[in-house]
Amino acid sequence: MTTTELPPLPPRPVVTYTRHNCERNHRTFSALAKCIWPDAIWIAGYTPGQFATVSYCFWEGPTVMQWATEEDARRGIAFIDRGGCSHSCAHDHRIVRMVLP
Ligand SMILES: [Zn+2]
Ligand SMILES: [Zn+2]
């Protein structure tokens, strides 16, 4: 049995977001994510933490998945990079680290 080697993924910077769209002090990363991406189609995450992977592949708006650690986020984005986030995947996926105000 042979396995096909996938091409290495380009190194992906983690973008830090400190800006959001209101003056409130959000206490949870889930609330902050809703404020940063008010036009998100959905925001999900099994363990909503400060990291998020965001797909900008849909004209309707971004989709956001929250992660507890950078390692989890990298694993998650590697998965959608290889498999595509949807049928209309444009491969515009980003890792974001949110900072609470
Ligand atoms: Zn806000
Ligand atoms: Zn995509």
- The string of pLDDT tens digits covering residues 23-73 is 999 999 999 999 999 999 999 998 889 999 999 999 999 999 999 999 999
3-state secondary structure of 14: strand
- 86 or 32, which is more confident: 32
- The answer as to whether 5 is a domain residue is no
Question: What does the alpha-carbon distance between residue 49 and residue 69 come to, in Å, rounded to a whole number?
Answer: 7
- The answer as to whether 8 is a domain residue is no
- The answer as to whether 4 is a domain residue is no
pLDDT confidence tier of residue 86, bands split at 50, 70 and 90:
confident
- The answer as to whether 1 is a domain residue is no
Please tell me the pTM assigned to this model. Answer: 0.85
Q: Is the separation of the CB atoms in 96 and 17 below 8 Å?
A: yes
pLDDT of 46: 80
Task: Calculate how far, in angstroms, residue 96's C-alpha sits from the geometric centre of ligand 2.
Answer: 15
- The answer as to whether 24 is a domain residue is yes
pLDDT of 48: 86
Question: What does the alpha-carbon distance between residue 31 and residue 50 come to, in Å, rounded to a whole number?
Answer: 11
User: Residues lining ligand 2 (ion), CB within 5 A?
Assistant: 55, 57, 85, 89
- The answer as to whether 6 is a domain residue is no
Q: Which domain holds residue 59?
A: 14-98
Q: Domain tally for the chain?
A: 1
- The answer as to whether 9 is a domain residue is no
Task: Calculate how far, in angstroms, residue 62's C-alpha sits from the geometric centre of ligand 2.
Answer: 10
- The answer as to whether 52 is a domain residue is yes
Task: Measure the CA angle with vertex 97, ends 91 and 98; round to 5°.
Answer: 120
Tell whether the model's pLDDT for residue 98 goes beyond 80.
yes
Tell whether the model's pLDDT for residue 95 goes beyond 80.
yes
